[in-house]
Chain A
Amino acid sequence: MWQSSFWQSSFWKNLVRWFHKWTSPKWFYNLSRPLGAWIGWLALLILVVSLVWGLAFAPIERLQGNSYRIIFIHVPAAFLSQAIYAAIAALGLIGLVWRIKLAFYLAKQSVPIGASMAFLALVTGAIWGKPTWGAWWVWDARLTSMLVLLFLYLGLWALHNAMERPESGDRAAAILALVGVVNLPIIKFSVEWWNTLHQPATLKFTEAPPMHISMLIPFLLAILGFYLAAVAWALKRTRLEILQRERRTQWARDELDRLGGNV
């Protein structure tokens, strides 16, 4: 009926064709170079501005003094670790259902980035916790669920490297990533569902943040800078993954010859 006519319409076919172009490793390889460079330089600029602003020029906090400044690293890293995990799971789903290799390449190369962000969030959290709470670490729901996220990342990393054929690793890791998505709402709502030592979120969609504007601007800039840097980093890593995994195709051989890597 109308369903079958929609799937056969020229609009849908053009959309599919456009989407398929994006899923071609060669197309992605060529496009990601200028795109990654632009995003990377923009990220660097925003990160330098926001971090210098936040760490050196933003005013001190009424209770915490200078120690609150680690928020300019802690929160962006924590946000990124969760956003990257969600992206890995979405890419895994696309890879599993539509068998798109590029989705797997991008997911695989995002794992180390997400893992380092989760690690950074935990370390900066500990450094922040000691002077404010009086403890490096407590087993409350927020901290524990973030630790679980780091372990999930390490699990993805291990699965990718444990398999003889990289394709099996891709599939196994995609399933683990999808199963682990349940941890994301647990991290997010842990501070509301249960009593935790960790404070609730400052940034919410529904209300104005209880943070002074002089701190909020560098804070939001730092989050943007982290996001852009992660995108640029993921593009860069994925380019290498494409060259390695597509090394038997003619275009990748030519590119490797050009780079002087295929001796």
Chain B
Amino acid sequence: MNPKRKQRLILILLGTSGVAVAVLLVLFALGQNMNFFYSPSDIAQGDAPLDRDIRAGGMVKDGSVQRDSDSLRVSFVVTDFVSEVQVNYEGILPDLFREGDGVVAIGRLMENGQVEASEVLAKHDETYMPPEVTDALERAESASIY
């Protein structure tokens, strides 16, 4: 390669990788602030602030959803299988809200460790299956148990 081109190539690659390293350092310095939500473990460790709205995310614990019979009040437990946090919410839940699936609750963390949510978002996973296939898999699973 002729020296002039080589010089240009090295200069460009050095400049570009310098910027890349700077950006990545900034991102990792931001750390927790880049996260969209706090996990129940973060909240248990006291990482989440009490004085402003936070987002708490994780899985809805199986069997933890309790609905009020004469209002839209609902409470459920969000877990990351290490720690748990209880979320109280009044309003309509998204269609994909289900026990055992992901959820992000936006609201305020109370002194008692519970989250009073003003909004609940459902998080879905990267799995895409037709209902018949899932049913068949579940049937096969329960057949093998009994």
Give the interface of A toward B (CB within 8 A). Answer: 7, 59-64, 68, 71, 93, 96-98, 131-135, 138-141, 175, 178-179, 181-182, 186, 193-197, 199-202, 210-212, 214-215
Pick the most buried of B36, B120, B129: most chain A CB atoms within 10 A of its CB.
B36
| Residue contact B5 to A97, C-beta cutoff 8 Å | yes
Contact B94 A182 (CB under 8 A): no
Residues B37 and A195 in contact, CB atoms below 8 Å apart: yes
How far does the alpha carbon of A135 sit from the alpha carbon of B1 in the complex, in Å? 53
Contact partner of A62 (CB less than 8 A), chosen from B15, B19, B134, is B134
CB-based contact B20/A212 at 8 Å: no
B98 in contact with A63 (CB, 8 Å): yes
Q: Which residues of B contact A132 (CB under 8 A)?
A: 94-96, 122, 124
B126 touches A201 (CB 8 A): yes
The answer for the CA separation of A212 and B101 in the assembled complex, in Å, is: 19
Query: In the complex, what residues of A have CB within 8 A of residue B8's CB?
Result: 96-97
Closest-CB distance, B78 to chain A (whole angstroms): 12
Contact B57–A195 (Cβ < 8 Å): yes
Q: Report the nearest B residue to A63, measured CB to CB.
A: B96
Main secondary structure of the interface of A (DSSP, over half): loop
Nearest Cβ on chain B to A191's Cβ, whole angstroms: 9
Tell me the bound Cα distance from A60 to B38 in angstroms: 32
Q: Enumerate chain A residues within 8 angstroms of B121, measured Cβ to Cβ.
A: 133-135, 138, 197
Query: Which of B39, B96, B101, B130 makes the CB contact (< 8 A) with A214?
Result: B130
B29 at the interface (CB under 8 A from A): no
CB neighbours of B133 from chain A (8 A): 62, 212
Residues of B within 8 A of A133 (CB): 94, 96, 121-124
Alpha-carbon gap, A214 to B131, bound state (A) = 12
B residues within 8 A CB of A197? 36-37, 57, 104, 121, 123
Task: Report whether A202 and B98 are in contact in the complex, using a CB–CB cutoff of 8 Å.
Answer: no
Q: Are A200 and B95 in contact (CB under 8 A)?
A: no
Known: A140-B36, A195-B37, A196-B36. A211 touches B122 (CB 8 A): no
Instruction: Decide: A97 and B12 in contact? CB cutoff 8 A.
Output: yes
Which residues of the other chain, B, contact A71 by a CB distance below 8 angstroms?
Answer: 128
The 8 lowest CB-CB distance pairs between A and B, nearest first, are A134-B94, A59-B130, A140-B36, A182-B20, A210-B127, A195-B35, A211-B128, A202-B126
> From A190, which residue of chain B is reached at the shortest CB distance?
B34
Can you show 5 pairs from A to B with CB atoms below 8 A apart?
A133-B94, A133-B122, A186-B23, A199-B125, A202-B126
The answer to whether the Cβ of B143 comes within 8 Å of any Cβ in the partner chain is no
Contact of B36 among A141, A179, A202 (CB under 8 A): A141
How far apart are B38's CB and chain A's nearest CB, in angstroms?
8
Q: Does B66 touch A at the CB level, under 8 Å?
A: no
CB distance from B26 to the nearest CB of A (A): 10
Q: Which residues of A contact B35 (CB under 8 A)?
A: 141, 194-195
In whole angstroms, how far apart are the Cα atoms of A197 and B120 in the complex? 12
Complex CA distance for A196 and B122, rounded to whole angstroms: 12
Report how far A138 CA is from B5 CA in the complex, Å: 45
Assess whether A211 is in contact with B127, with CB atoms less than 8 Å apart. Answer: yes
Cα–Cα, bound, A98→B1 (Å): 10
Shortest CB distance B23–A (Å): 5
Chain B 62-99: CB-based contact to A (< 8 A → 1; otherwise 0): 00000000000000000000000000000000111010
- Could you tell me the distance in whole angstroms from the C-beta of B27 to the nearest C-beta in chain A? 7
Question: CB within 8 A of B128: which of A93, A135, A178, A215?
Answer: A215
A62 touches B130 (CB 8 A): yes
> CA A220 – CA B131 in complex, angstroms?
21
> Which single member of B1, B9, B34 contacts A194 (CB below 8 Å)?
B34
- A181's partner among B9, B16, B120 (CB-CB below 8 A) is B16
With A194-B36, A202-B127 given, name 13 new contacts (CB 8 A). A59-B132, A61-B128, A63-B101, A93-B9, A133-B122, A141-B35, A175-B12, A178-B12, A195-B38, A197-B37, A201-B126, A210-B125, A215-B130
